[in-house]
Structure 1
Amino acid sequence: MQRALLDQLKIITEEERKILDGVAEVDRDLYTSGCDFIVDSAKMFNEGKLITVRTHTRFIHFPAHRHNFIEVLYVCQGKLVNIIGGKEVVIQKGELLFLNQFTRHEILPAGKDDIAINFMILPEFFDVAYTMAGNNNVLADFLVNVLRQDEERGEYLHFRVAEVLQIQNLLENMIYSLVTGKGDQNKINQTTMGLIFLYLLDSVQYVEMRVPNQYENMISMTTLEYIEQQYKTATLTELCEQLHLPMHTLSKMIKKSTGFNFKELLQRKRLNKAVELMCETDLPINDVIAAVGYENNSYFHRVFKEHYHMTPRAFRVANSSKKQVHL
């Protein structure tokens, strides 16, 4: 992160100055109007805004509280320690923590050099990111569904992506925009978050999740990542061997968590990749079919036509001039 921006984020706020002068507890009136400690979007957002940002208040323990919006914590320097569902979740420099609406958590006191950003986001803000991810992206479906749930059961997504430079650069741009107030914030920042979301979809191997049915969901995430990386040769038998699970058990978990069976997920990925190759390269159709893992050309043509209601060749003619195909 640029030194000038980091120095600006380090500035002691008025709230922090009062804490250093002896205030022993968080001033709840800054965050909520109710008796229960629910941080209220009406207190935190300017009218018409879908996202706002503030530096995390240091030097004090934040007691257990909830939010009526999605919170994304990003650590610019140092670390931030959350307690979620009785578990200590440590967010290190460069990492992201997505907290679902109404997830109850507390935060241990941060020191002077622990600089963290709170992105406070209304659920509809993610509509742009979801659209950018594409309608056939089951991994995006899965993550967005987690973020759209309205529960208190301790859901979070912890992305350890400090080494993913694209994400770090996009976050810095977004923080600069929100801190300085420059630009059309909603439009620019929604698009930036969409790009971050796309990179996060490529980084699911770095995510730790806590959602209901956590084990089943982690198995599903592993399945989706396996298909994403191994779509050309992927088989349910091989995945069962890797996960040490009976085929009927794994099949049931996948269907329950994603709404699709393994064959359908694999077919979706192969078709998406085939469309990408047809529209962005000059590979002959038969070479495209082989590249995505189909051995039977006739079967591919039948499946493709059932899905897109036209032949692969007609689809290529209709879409190859377009820079991006929305499926």
Structure 2
Amino acid sequence: MRKEILDHIYKITEEEEKIIAGNAAISKELYTSEDEFVVDSAKLLEKGKFIAIRPHTRFAYFPEHRHNYIEMLVMLQGSLTTRIKDGDTIELKTGDILLMNRHARHEILPCSKDDLAMNIIILPEFFSRSSVSYDRENILRDFIIASLSEKNRYSDFLLYHAKGVIAVENLMENLIWTLTVHPNDMNQVVNGTMDLLLMNLAALSADTLKDMRSKGQNITIAALEYIDHNYKDGSLEELAKKTGYTTAHLSRLLKNNTGNNFKQLLQQRKLQQAAYYLENTTLTTERIIENIGYENSAYFYKKFAERYGCPPREYRKKHQLS
């Protein structure tokens, strides 16, 4: 990591100044508005962005919490110790990358000034807009898909020892530099860099990680892949024919493993694709509605506004790159 980037990140934050001054506790209100300690992406990430970075707060104990996003914790310098609830105690060292899903609960022991870790916040929507195709048998892809579900049916984390992996180190440096120097005007570069970073991590998965999938998880992954590629006109009946399972069994499996039924998952995927088109193309809303397979435009407008908080035209105005 280049010295100028590290020097910028090493700067003591306002929160850290208060901790050093004597209030040796994390300011919970900076991270959540809930009674339960769930770190909220809305507190850390500007609207319209899929990815953001935040240096880990040093000098204080970070109490047990989870996130409503996928977190990538990158150890840039020094070390950090985190304890996963009902699981492992992990000591991250320089070059380590820890991916945690939305269900993972963990605490972090205090770090010193020279222990520099970067939190990378990744919204679920990022993985829906991505054109990157991960191998079906890849552990990282399975982890990501399971992480997007409403219920935890997979491991809480994946740990990569990436020190010395030049491609990963270079991409990580590019990502952090871009988000530090150009946080507001390089969304496409940031998304593309993260795609490449995940592709390189996926290539490491087979050699560095243990596959913990079950048969039920594999069926769920296959179902989610089907929805991902057939969101326009896919059906539960066709999925049943492809997998050899009954519609009732698939419905029960999807509900248990994701918290949503087939229709809900299909609708989520349609809306995510619509948002992608609005951000990255000049297609009219009517053409987008046609492309994602909605026949009732009024219903589309209603559901889009429910999910994204504004109508499609306003969403495009806010988020489309110039």
What TM-score bracket applies, with the shorter chain setting the length? 0.5 to 0.7
Question: CA separation of 1:156/1:29 partners in 2, compared to 1, >3 Å: closer, same or farther?
Answer: same
2:47 & 2:57 partners in 1: Cα distance? 23
Classify the secondary structure of the residue corresponding to 1:75.
strand
Counterparts of 1:92 and 1:208, CA distance in 2: 17
Pair 77,203 (structure 1): closer, same or farther in 2 beyond 3 Å: same
Query: SS state of the match for residue 202, structure 1?
Result: helix
- Partners of 2:142 and 2:37 lie apart in 1 by 29
Residue 20, structure 1, aligned to residue 20, structure 2: yes
Per-residue CA deviations over 1:186-212 (Å, capped at 9, x if unaligned) read 211111111111111210145446xxx
Are the equivalent residues in 2 in contact too, given 1:138–1:258 (CA < 8 A)? no
Match of 2:91 in 1: 90
Q: For 1:111-126, list aligned pairs within 5 A.
A: 111-126=112-127
Between the aligned partners of 2:99 and 2:61, the Cα distance in structure 1 is 20
When structure 1 is superposed on structure 2, of 193-202 and 56-65 the one drifting more is 193-202
Q: CA deviation at 1:259?
A: 4.1
Name the SS for the 1:101 alignment partner: coil
Match of 1:258 among 218, 225, 239: 218
- Cα distance, 1:141–1:14 mapped onto 2, change above 3 Å: closer
What is the alpha-carbon distance in structure 2 between the residues aligned to residue 85 and residue 10 of structure 1?
Answer: 29
Q: Superposition pairs for residues 103-114 of structure 1, below 5 Å?
A: 103-114=104-115
Q: Is the 8 A contact 2:141 2:202 kept in 1?
A: no
Structure 1 unaligned segments of length 5 or more: list them: 210-216, 221-252, 261-327
Deviations 1:138-191 (A, max 9, x none): 315423223323346861111111121100100000001111125743211111
Corresponding residue for 1:70?
Answer: 70
Q: Secondary structure at the match of 1:71?
A: strand
TM-score normalised to structure 2 length: 0.62
SS of corresponding position for 2:132: helix
Give, in angstroms, the shift of residue 105 of structure 1: 0.6
The corresponding residue for 2:52 is 52
**TM-aligned CA deviation for residue 256 of structure 1:** 4.5
Structure 1 CA distance for aligned equivalents of residues 219 and 141 of structure 2: 10
Query: Is the 2:146–2:152 Cα contact (8 Å) retained in structure 1?
Result: no
Separation of aligned partners in 2, 1:149 and 1:257: 11
CA contact (8 A) 2:98 2:159 kept: yes
User: Residue in 1 aligned with 2:312?
Assistant: none
- Considering only aligned residues, what root-mean-square deviation do their CA atoms show, in Å? 2.2
Q: Distance in 1 between matches of 2:165 and 2:24?
A: 38
Aligned to 2:181: 180
CA distance in structure 2 between the aligned counterparts of 1:171 and 1:128, rounded to whole angstroms? 20
What is the one-letter code of the residue matched to 1:57? T
Helix, strand or coil: the match of 1:203?
helix
Query: Where does residue 138 of structure 1 map in the other structure?
Result: 137
Find the residue that maps to 1:133 and give its secondary structure: coil
TM-score, L = length of structure 1? 0.61
Matches within 5 A, 1:1-327: 1-86=1-86, 87-129=88-130, 131-133=131-133, 137-139=136-138, 141-151=141-151, 155-181=156-182, 184-205=185-206, 207-208=208-209, 217-218=211-212, 255-259=215-219
Deviates more, 1:197-206 or 1:112-121: 197-206
SS of equivalent to 1:98: strand
Letter in 2 for 1:159: Y
The separation in 2 between residues aligned to 1:102 and 1:158, in whole angstroms, is 16
Tell me what 2:288 maps to. none
Letter matched to residue 123 of structure 1: P
Alpha-carbon contact 1:69-1:102 (below 8 Å) kept: no
Structure with larger Rg: 1
Counterpart of 1:107 in structure 2: which amino acid?
I
Please give the alpha-carbon distance, in whole angstroms, between the structure 1 residues aligned to 2:157 and 2:196: 20
Structure-2 change in CA distance of 1:259 and 1:206 (3 Å): same
